[in-house]
Amino acid sequence: MRRRTTGEYVTVSTAGERVRAFVPYPLPPDPPLHLEGDLRDALDGALLALGRLDSVSSLLPEPDLFLYSYVRKEAVLSSQIEGTQSSLSDLLLFEIQESPGWPTDDVTEVSQYVAALEHGLKRLRGGFPLSNRLIREIHAVLLSRGRGAEKAPGGFRRSQNWIGGTRPGNATFVPAPHDRVPACMGALDRFLHDRPQRTPALVKAALAHVQFETIHPFLDGNGRVGRLLITLVLSAEGVLREPLLYLSLHFKRHRKTYYSLLDQVRATGDWERWLAFFAEAVTETAQGAVETARTLVDLFRVDRARVQGLGRGAASALQVHEALQARPVTSIALMSKSTRLSVPTATSALERLLELDIVREMTGRRRNRVYAYRKYLEALNEETEIRSGNLRRPN
């Protein structure tokens, strides 16, 4: 549905140029959303897919086994959209202090995304509301180390930024002037708290994401925080008990459409087209997560049966196999610590799993070897390996 522009343009001077900056109107949209027909069916289908995803915990012996690696997959994908060159394997190696040859800043940036998400979820579970204060806290964690640490972590920007182009004059989009950011974010905060009216959770997450990206309140990290906001809204609204929905893979696959729809919302007010895309993203992503969980359940069951057939040494190998379900990349020292097996016993167990092709050794070294649960990583690694071409849309 085409309305009108969803904000107003104001002329600002920045970097020696006069440009038009976009100040969005507060949510919800006016006139109201038209949530009927095919769009209603798409939103209902997305909610059904989320319900199935929320029940994924019944498929897994321990949901945290899946959540640990799945969150890290999302961190990699979301950071790749911003231009990092880190894979899931890089991150897992980095976390056990065995980072390979990728630039340290890239892996640190991804690691901070995980820390920011975990901080936000911990605060929500402790009863803290999803609010501007929490968004700023999450941003502070995200930029506390690595690239962007000098760009006011946790603080709304106090200068003009822009998206695309080499300067404001040829930018793709110029967000609101910095002195309008507090008011814009204040209005977003009220919307998140259902003022002036209640908004269904899925629609709230979709609208809030666009509004946040339009305001672009920080000097850096806006894209990553904006994608985190989707999961945090759904968690705060009780739609998901576990943070298992991450849309970065869908946004990465359809990035031209994604950016085009954001621009169309601002220019024409066609929120319904964005909502249809968002519903499709939620449905496909939720279905994919459920399928991955089922794949892992089958993998764990089959591999456990193979380990049980080892005979002598099976008991210690089963302990190691179970530990690998929680942390699919490990060193001998870490495995010994997590299982309380002696170093020789842990080493022997890992070597038995290597013989069964359940794990692979990642370093090629004779000492300080690192092992990965091979098929587990393959199941999670979809689209996280670096492809040629630049994905980055300047933050």
For residue 77, pLDDT beyond 60? yes
What span, in angstroms and rounded, lies between the C-alpha atoms of 29 and 1? 11
Residue 159, pLDDT above cutoff 60: yes
pTM, rounded to two decimals: 0.88
* Token code pair at residue 148: 């962007």
- Whether 36 contacts 43, CB under 8 Å: no
Residue 385 pLDDT exceeds 90: no
Q: What is the structure's pLDDT at 300?
A: 92
Other residues' Cβ atoms within 10 Å of the Cβ of residue 218: 28
* 268-327 per-position pLDDT tens digit: 999 999 999 999 999 999 998 888 888 888 999 999 999 999 988 899 999 999 999 988
CA distance 390 to 344: 46
What's the rounded Cα separation, in Å, for the pair 383 and 351?
A: 29
Side chain identity at 189, as an amino acid letter? D
Q: How confident is the model at residue 384 (pLDDT cuts 50, 70, 90)?
A: low
In order of start, what are the domains of the chain with their CATH numbers? 7-28+35-291 (1.10.3290.10), 309-380 (1.10.10.10)
DSSP 383: T
Structure-block tokens of residue 236: 């705060």
Q: What is the mean pLDDT of the chain?
A: 88
Residue 193 has pLDDT above 60, yes or no: yes
Kindly provide the b/e burial profile for residues 21-35, where b requires at least 16 CB atoms within 10 angstroms of the residue's own CB.
bbbbbbbbbeeebee
Q: What is the pLDDT of residue 383?
A: 55
**CA-wise closest residue to 271 among 329, 227, 223, 207:** 207
On whether the CB atoms of residues 240 and 54 are closer than 8 A, the answer is yes
Residue 246 confidence (pLDDT): 84
Task: Kindly state the average pLDDT of the residues 171-175.
Answer: 95
Q: What DSSP line would sit under 93-151, residue for residue?
A: HHHTT---SS-HHHHHHHHHHHHHHHHHHHHHHTTPPSSHHHHHHHHHHHTSSSTTTTS
Q: Provide the greatest CA pair distance for the chain.
A: 76
pLDDT band at 58 (very low <50, low <70, confident <90, very high): low
What stretch of H or E contains 185? helix 181-192
Q: Band of the pLDDT at 88, cuts 50, 70, 90?
A: confident
Look at residue 90 in the predicted model and tell me its pLDDT: 77
CB 153 within 8 A of CB 144: yes
Give me 393's structure tokens.
């849309």
Confidence tier at 261 by pLDDT (50, 70, 90): very high
- Token match 């006069």: residue? 18
Q: Looking at per-residue confidence, does 85 or 13 come out higher?
A: 13
pLDDT of residue 85: 65
Number of residues written out for the chain: 395
SS3 category, 5: coil
* pLDDT band for position 262 (cuts 50, 70, 90): very high
17 within 8 A of 167, measured Cβ to Cβ: yes
Distances (CA, A) of 108 to 70, 84, 118, 389: 18, 10, 15, 22
Q: Which of 117-126, 240-249, 370-379 has the lowest mean pLDDT?
A: 240-249
- Measured in whole angstroms, the distance separating CA 324 from the mean position of its chain's CA atoms is 23
Q: H or E segment at 330?
A: strand 329-331
Q: What is the pLDDT of residue 393?
A: 40
Q: Residue 360 is inside which H or E element, if any?
A: strand 359-361
- Nearest alpha-carbon partner for 226 in 108, 339, 116: 116
Range with top average pLDDT, 12-16, 128-132, 150-154, 242-246: 128-132
Range name among 93-97, 123-127, 202-206, 292-296 with the lowest pLDDT average: 93-97
Q: Cα 323 vs. chain centroid, distance in angstroms?
A: 25
**pLDDT over 70 for what percent of the chain?**
91
Q: How far apart are the first and last CA of the chain?
A: 29
Q: Is the confidence at residue 147, as pLDDT, over 90?
A: no
- Kindly give the pairing relationship between strand 370-373 and strand 7-14: unpaired
- Position 59 confidence tier, pLDDT thresholds 50, 70, 90: low
Pairwise CA distance, residues 228 & 123, whole Å: 14
